[in-house]
Chains A and B, each alone.
Chain A
Amino acid sequence: MAEVKIKQGQELNGLGVMLKEIMDENLKDPKKYRSVEGLNASVVIREATSGVAITLHFKRGDIEIQNDAIDEPTAYMEAGFESLAYISSGQLSPIKAILTRKLKTGGNLLTLLKISNITVLK
């Protein structure tokens, strides 16, 4: 079973702990894993109020999570805690969140769409 790996030597921040649990739950579904298996990308997710961020690395089927934002990720998304929570729990559509400016995004939006298969509980 696929699982998000934590970057060696790191203790994840709270945002990372929450997102990892949701992603690990989703990755139990092989279909969802296959939807991101071929990705070669990095994605930054930031909680807007605290500025706390994590970066997800997708490479050759491996998924790794690390604290903080890297420079020049493939894509990024940023929202307040409540919006991130509502999006991750599947109560707020990411598209609707973008249109209502609750979610800021940048970079390759197709990548964000693909990773929503594992970052959003459906």
Chain B
Amino acid sequence: MAIKFGSEEWLKAFTQEISQSQAYKEAAKKWEGDLYFVIEPEASLKDKIVVYVDLWHGECRSSALVADESEKTPAYRIWGPFGVWRQILEKKLDPVQAMMTGRLKVKGDMAQIMRMPRAAVELVNCVTKFETEFPD
């Protein structure tokens, strides 16, 4: 059954996939740093969605949907318009390509990302493993 994009249930499914993914655990075993995924409103998405995940050595220590970005100061921020995120979640757009072209923007310690390039890819793969229902 598809889960509503950006809902608490959706976040729970995402974090569950992170905890079950051996590929992510392996790729991110040295990863230290929390992050925001910011989905900017576009087309059918009227309000910004901010997903917070605290990632530590291949585990997700905590997660939350954040109403105000100033609530936390994560080490990383990955942001882009809803349409780009949707294409990635539907596996129509490669997340690396989205980052390389700048359609998805990344702020944070680039050296750590470069040291563990699979970590970001496997993290995004986790969110594509369950069906998402998008706003019409």
Contacts and interface: CB of A to CB of B under 8 A. Distances in A.
Q: Is the interface of A mostly helix, strand, loop or mixed?
A: helix
A42 interface: no
Interface in A105-122: 121
Interface of A: 11-15, 17-18, 21-22, 25, 47, 49-50, 52, 81-82, 85-86, 88-89, 91, 121
Interface string B110-136: 110111011000000000000000000
Contacts of A89: 111, 114-115
Interface residues of B, number: 18
Chain A CB within 10 A, most for which of B96, B104, B114: B114
Given A18-B113, A85-B113, 4 more contacts: A14-B105, A17-B105, A52-B100, A86-B114
B20 interface: no
B30 to A, nearest CB: 11
B117 A85 contact: yes
A17 B106 contact: yes
A30 B110 CA distance: 21
B73 interface: no
Point out which of B98, B105, B117 has the most chain A C-beta atoms below 10 A from its C-beta: B117
